[in-house]
Structures are given as structure tokens and as C-alpha cells.
Amino acid sequence: MNKLVIAHELGHAVCAEAQDGFWYPSGLSFEKDESALAYCYCEKHDQKKPDLKGPYIKLKQMMNLGGIFGELLYGANWSPWGARCDVDEFITANSKGKNKLMVELDGWNWIDDDELSFRACTILSGDKARREFVLDAHDTARRLPHLWVAYLDFCDRIDKATFFANVEDIANEKQVEIDQKQIKKIVKEILI
């Protein structure tokens, strides 16, 4: 099992509980299909979580960025090609607002054409080259400073060693499905 894929999906689950005011994880699946390598299933609360505080709880679908955070934490880089749907869903959900994180990602994803923009990834020839295009921690901090601050907030809310250990455990046990009860337990261990 690809540990970066596990970290990506676990990142979504943890972000849903740690930074997102409305979503919670309901399961993980590591069975590949024609459209994705894996899935983090999330359900939406009817009302905002009353006890969660932080700068991102009012944003819609913050949990979509958790995959990037999981990859950055576990592998020290992330794949824009692998996160393209996540970024687009976050931008679309928050497009009516003026949040700095959404504006930054919108420009990076749709407008900018520098060597670290999403366009630099999309113009590469073939899926293999697009998958190999990554942004490391330094690139992310310099090119996407608001995303970097959100990543730091994510890391401040978790036990990083426990996150790593859970990625390893899922990989070693070759778990293909993690149900709601299991993911709730895992996320509770990771949050501080």
C-alpha cells in the first residue's frame, strides 16, 4: 500500500475533525477504482461544531485540504495533480467569499503560470510527469503562504508521531476499509 496515499486520506479525516466546522470522517477506503486511488468519506453536521475554535472553522469544506496536509506531514511534499479535485472543491465551495486562503489557491490553480503554479503541472506531457510534479515544504511555504499557515495550524492540533504511526499501521496491516468506528478512534488518538 502506498503510504503517501494513506497519509493523504488520513489527512482528510483528521482535518475534518481538527479544522473543519461542519464535517466529520465516516470511513476510509483504499480500493482503487477508475477515478481515484482511495477515498475518505465524510458526512456533514447540520450545525457548526460548538466546541471547535480556530481560523478555518467558518470556511466551507476545509477538510478537502487535509489531504495536502497529510502528504506534507508524512512525505515532506505533496502532489498538486493528486490534490487537484480537493483544491477545486475547496475553491468552489468558498468562491463567494474573500478569504485569503481561497483567493491564493484560486490564483494558483486557475490564473498563475509560474513554475510552481498548477498550470506548470498541467502543461507537462502525460500523467506520469504530472504525478511526479511535487511541491516540497519550502516551495509550499514560499509559493502558497496562506496554505502553509493552514498546514501549521493543522500540525499544531495533532500529535505528529501518532499520525505517522497510524499511517504505518494501516499500511502494515494492509487495511482496505476503515469503518466509522475505527476512523473515529484513530482520529481521537491523533488529535491533541
Q: pLDDT tens-digit profile of 147-175?
A: 999 999 999 999 999 999 999 999 999 98
Per domain, the residue ranges of the chain are 3-190
Alpha helices in 19-144 (DSSP H): 66-75, 84-93, 100-106, 118-122, 127-132, 137-143
Give the predicted TM-score (pTM) of the model: 0.95
* pLDDT above 90 (res 33): no
What is the architecture, at CATH level 2, of domain 3-190?
Answer: Up-down Bundle (1.20)
Q: How many CB atoms lie within 10 A of CB 6?
A: 23
Q: pLDDT tens-digit profile of 98-123?
A: 899 999 999 999 999 999 999 999 99
Distance separating alpha carbons of residues 72 and 4, to the nearest angstrom: 9
* pLDDT above 90 (res 32): no
Report the pLDDT value the prediction gives residue 147, as an integer from 0 to 100.
Answer: 98
Q: What is the DSSP string of 125-138?
A: SSHHHHHH--EEHH
* Beta-ladder partners of 77: 136
Distance separating alpha carbons of residues 180 and 173, to the nearest angstrom: 18
